[in-house]
Amino acid sequence: MEKLVAIFSKNCVLMGDIDSYCLVCSIPLTGDVLEHIRCPEHDTKLKQTVYFEKYKDDFIKKVEGGYQCLTCNKVVSNTEICKHLDSEQHKVARVSLGCTRNDADNNQPNIDQINEEKKEQTTENEAHGDDTQATSSKNVDTEVLSDNSSVTEGKAIKKPTAVSIELETYANKHGLIVTQDRFSLNCQIESLYHCGFCGVFQKEFGSILDHLNTALHEHQKDTKKKILQRIKDEGLLNHHSTKEINIFERFLALSEY
């Protein structure tokens, strides 16, 4: 049974007593789940979302035109995201933000060395009046899709930024993400406003308000709320670990598709 659960998890399928749900294809599965996993259509979509299993702990989300690495504040193309996540620059950023506690426990000497190098570089930068974040010289050559310098070059977010109760209430109602909290993957970087239901972002608040009035936004909001409510009502999440539930809730909250 555990082997079967592992197969379903790697194929982004939520199991239930009555039926299951495929996150990749966005459809309920009332028949043979294994048959669905083997079908070419599912396999094709799964290959396009390989980050789900391999990179599910790397704090990335799907946005228009590519992927956004919340750890490094970069928007990277579909073809370059794997290179970026494997780069020394990204690994150093994860260690800096405390995203790799398990890695640190298993590989302490290497982590200590990286932290010491970062400390020396930071001290040197401060001595020269430079407060930019120290990164490895082995940076991967990524294709950056945003012209917003705060996203492509800014420091990784470390602390949440408070917003007004009115804005937070309005944002929650419309699926906007307005806090800088890397742990819940809710993120607003500088002037970028993200729609959690549709996975789009705008530089101006007025532009995101225009987006909220579109038929696409209403459809995505209603669809994802129905999916989440149905799964909660039928107790489908009871069959999964806390980590798997958190991943699914991130999926719904960030609207990666």
In this predicted model, what pLDDT tens digit does every residue of 156-206 receive, in sequence order?
333 344 555 665 566 566 555 554 333 333 344 444 666 767 767 777 767
- Six token digits for residue 236: 């489908």
Sheet-wide strand order for 193-195: 176-177, 193-195, 201-202
Q: Please report the pLDDT score of residue 42 as a whole number.
A: 82
Give the tens place of pLDDT for each residue, 206-249. Answer: 777 788 788 888 887 777 777 666 666 666 555 454 544 554 55
Q: Please report the pLDDT score of residue 251 as a whole number.
A: 47
Give the tens place of pLDDT for each residue, 90-144. Answer: 888 777 665 543 433 333 334 344 445 444 544 554 554 444 333 333 333 333 4
- Six token digits for residue 204: 């101006």
95 near 177, Cβ under 8 Å? no
- Six token digits for residue 79: 């073809």
- Six token digits for residue 42: 């599912």
21 near 236, Cβ under 8 Å? yes
- Six token digits for residue 202: 């705008």
Q: Is the pTM of this model over 0.95?
A: no
Dist. CA 9–CA 176, nearest whole Å: 28
Q: Please report the pLDDT score of residue 210 as a whole number.
A: 82
Residues 110, 247, 211, CA angle at the centre, nearest 5°? 115
Angle between helices 215-233 and 242-254 (to 10 degrees): 160
Q: Please report the pLDDT score of residue 242 as a whole number.
A: 52
Dist. CA 172–CA 178, nearest whole Å: 9
3-state SS class at 50? coil
180 near 187, Cβ under 8 Å? yes
Q: Please report the pLDDT score of residue 253 as a whole number.
A: 46
Between 58 and 104, whose confidence is greater?
58
